[in-house]
Amino acid sequence: MSAEAGELVTFTGLKKVYHLPGLEVPVLHGIDLTIRSGEFTAIMGASGSGKSTLMNIIGFLDRPSEGAYHFKGEDVTALDDDGESRIRNREIGFIYQNFNLLPRCTAFENIALPLFYRDDVEDERAAVTHALEIVGLSDRGHHKPNELSGGQRQRVAIARALVGNPAILLADEPTGALDSKTGQEIMDLFRALHGRGCTIIMVTHDRHVASHCKRIIEIKDGRITSDSLT
C-alpha cells in the first residue's frame, strides 16, 4: 500500500482484544481512520471508550490484534520490537498529563533525553536550545522540575517531544494536571505549534480542550461514533 499525499496514520479494520486468564476483553472494534500531515486532531471519549488504547497503538506502545496499521504508507502491523522502537523514537513525540520529567535532571537534560538514542542529529545542544526557544523557556534550561511551575514543566515536556522533529506530537490529556488559566496557555502553545506545521493528535475527555482542535473524533465502546471538522 502506498500512502496518499500527506497520509501519516491509516488504520483499516483495527481491532484490539486483551487476553486475561479465562477472559477476552475486546476494546477496539474495527477502527478505520486516517490522519494526515498537518492535522490538529482530538480523540475524545469517556473512560473505557478505547481512546487510550487507540493512542497507544498510534504511538507504537501497543499492537493491534487484527487489522492493518500503515504509517507513512508502510505496513507496520507486524514490525518487531526494534522496528517499533525506531519509529517511536524518530517519528512520535509524546506529551503526558503528568509531564514524566526526571526530577534530578535539568530542563535542558530532560529535553535532550530522546536524542541520546539518535545518531542522526548533528548538533544536539542547538536542537535542545531551539526547542526551549519554541516553548518560551530559553532562560529556564538550567532549572530542575521542582524549580518550575506546572505550566513550565509541561512546556519542558512539549520541548522534549519536539526536539527530535517528529512526524506526530501525541498528547495525552496535556492540560489535565493544570489549572484552567495555565491549561489555556498550553492550548495556545499547541495552536501555535499547529501554525508552524506540527501534526498533533490530542487524546482528551474534555470538550473545551477538544474545541481548540481542527478535527474531533469521538469514540464510544471501541467504535468511532463521530468524526468532524470544527
Position of cell 508502510?
A: 74
Assigned domain for 1 exists: no
Residue 33 near residue 40 (C-beta atoms within 8 A): no
Q: How far apart are CA 97 and CA 162, in angstroms?
A: 16
Query: What share of the chain in percent tops pLDDT 70?
Result: 98
Rounded to the nearest angstrom, the gap between the alpha carbon of residue 160 and the centroid of all alpha carbons in its chain is 12
Assigned domain for 95 exists: yes
**Which residues partner with 17 through β-bridges?**
26
* Residue-wise pLDDT tens digits, 153-180: 999 999 999 999 999 999 999 999 999 9
pLDDT score, position 119: 80
Assigned domain for 184 exists: yes
pLDDT score, position 92: 97
Assigned domain for 60 exists: yes
- Give the residue from 217, 181, 220, 165 showing the smallest Cα distance to 50: 220
Q: How far apart are CA 134 and CA 212, in angstroms?
A: 19
Label residue 114 exposed, middle or buried (CB < 10 Å: 0-12, 13-18, 19+): buried
pLDDT score, position 71: 97
pLDDT at 78 over 90: no
pLDDT score, position 2: 43
Assigned domain for 2 exists: no
pLDDT score, position 1: 40
Banded pLDDT at 4 (limits 50, 70, 90): low
Domain count along the chain: 1
Label residue 1 exposed, middle or buried (CB < 10 Å: 0-12, 13-18, 19+): exposed
Assigned domain for 187 exists: yes
**Could you tell me the pTM of the whole model?**
0.94
pLDDT score, position 139: 97
Residues of the domain holding 103: 7-229
Maximum Cα–Cα distance for the chain, whole Å? 55
At 172, which amino acid appears? D
The CATH number linked to 132 is: 3.40.50.300
Assigned domain for 37 exists: yes
* Residue-wise pLDDT tens digits, 12-68: 999 999 999 999 999 999 999 999 999 999 999 999 999 999 999 999 999 999 999
In Å, how far are 28, 71, 81, 185, 201 from 55, measured between CA atoms? 11, 14, 18, 24, 9
Assigned domain for 43 exists: yes
Determine the average pLDDT of the residues in 126-138.
97
